Amino acid sequence: MTQSSQSREDVEAAFWLSHLRVGFTVFVGEAIAVFVYLRASPNGLNRGLLTVIAVSTACVGALSFFGLGKIARQSWRHRFSLSWCLGAGWILAACVRLDGGLRSPLLYLVLFPVIYAALAFRPAAVVACGISALTEVVTIRATIGVHMVPRDTLFMIAAVVGGMSALAVAASVYRTRLQQSEVALTAELAALADTDGLTGCLNRRAFHTRLEAEIDRAVRHDRPLCLVVADIDDFKSVNDNFGHPIGDEALALVGAALRRELRSSDVAGRLGGDEFGVILADTTLEGAETQARRLGQRLDTDASVVALSIGVAALDPAEPDVQRLTRDADRALYHVKRTGRHGIAATTPSGLPARIAS
């Protein structure tokens, strides 16, 4: 897991931990409120059974706090929270029914799961909680008889539950849209921070971070990996003879040529000045040499004012690290520079660079 993905998981886990803590705190608080209500009205219906339910749920909710940290890091945390929310609603509905039905003051507590759902759940889940709340009211009504509740009271109860559910769904929809916009903006800012503005390739920092990750993946799955480094020949003379704007244009053309020739799994980066790097995942040294030729041919076609010297190296299984791979690729590049430029060389398994194309 990369550092950025780890940080994102930590943030999400912290959010869900806070969300669950708030929910269980309210749940325990509701159970205590029910217990206090029962003590204040000892002559009501089913006081013994309701007291057992209130005390039991308060104890279960309090004990659950010890496991919330672990639950917050699980992939099923959303499903757990939704299931618990729906279950809490039906426990409250049972208490309302035992306390006499829709005339019970406990009826107001049925709305809490819907409000809680609006804080973090997706719109579909909030809809499910709203439908569940309305179903609870209908079920209570069906089990006590219509004659025990005036129609106007029944209508207002349904209107309150339905209206609260609609507001919760609307809040969830707008919150989800806002989160999606924030995620898109964050991704765009992250891409800008990792991208060289002139060439469209990764900048040096992002390139080396990706190279470390690709080396780890290659070692873990026993797959080949190659690094290509390229340098524009006599780039200083391009700036001196044609001006820096033309030099920048040449850099942009090289970056575009590299990106067009790459596969989706490959990565191009600007390492600084006129030097570029390309990570070729799942590629042998022979395949990397072929890809380097294609890159040279593409550049000859797109930017005839400049030429590249290219060095190629394969990851050494005996020393699979960034320093060794970079050193081997640079050694091949410098060999091209010393032997006429505008060509390709590869560092062989023996560690000696050899020119393979001009």
Q: What pLDDT does 17 receive? A: 93
Q: What pLDDT does 145 receive? A: 58
Q: What pLDDT does 229 receive? A: 94
Q: What pLDDT does 350 receive? A: 66
Tokens of 56: 């039991």
Query: How many angstroms from the chain centroid is the CA of residue 20?
Result: 20
Q: What pLDDT does 342 receive? A: 85
Query: How many angstroms from the chain centroid is the CA of residue 219?
Result: 25
Beta strand 344-347 pairing with 275-281: unpaired
**Ordered per-residue pLDDT tens for the chain, 358 residues:** 445 555 678 888 998 999 999 999 989 998 999 999 999 999 999 999 999 999 999 999 999 999 999 999 999 999 999 999 999 999 999 999 999 888 899 988 888 899 999 888 989 999 999 999 999 988 988 887 555 667 777 778 888 888 888 888 898 898 888 878 877 887 777 667 788 888 889 999 999 999 999 999 999 999 999 999 999 888 888 887 888 888 888 888 888 888 888 888 899 999 988 999 999 999 999 999 998 888 877 776 665 567 889 999 999 888 888 999 999 999 999 999 888 888 899 987 666 677 776 6
Q: What pLDDT does 319 receive? A: 86
Instruction: Show Cβ contacts of residue 311 under 8 Å, excluding neighbours closer than 6 positions.
Output: 228, 229, 230, 329, 330, 331, 332, 333, 334, 335, 336, 344, 345, 346, 347, 353
- Could you tell me the CA-to-CA distances from 168 to 182, 212, 276 in Å, in that order? 21, 45, 52
Tokens of 182: 């924030």
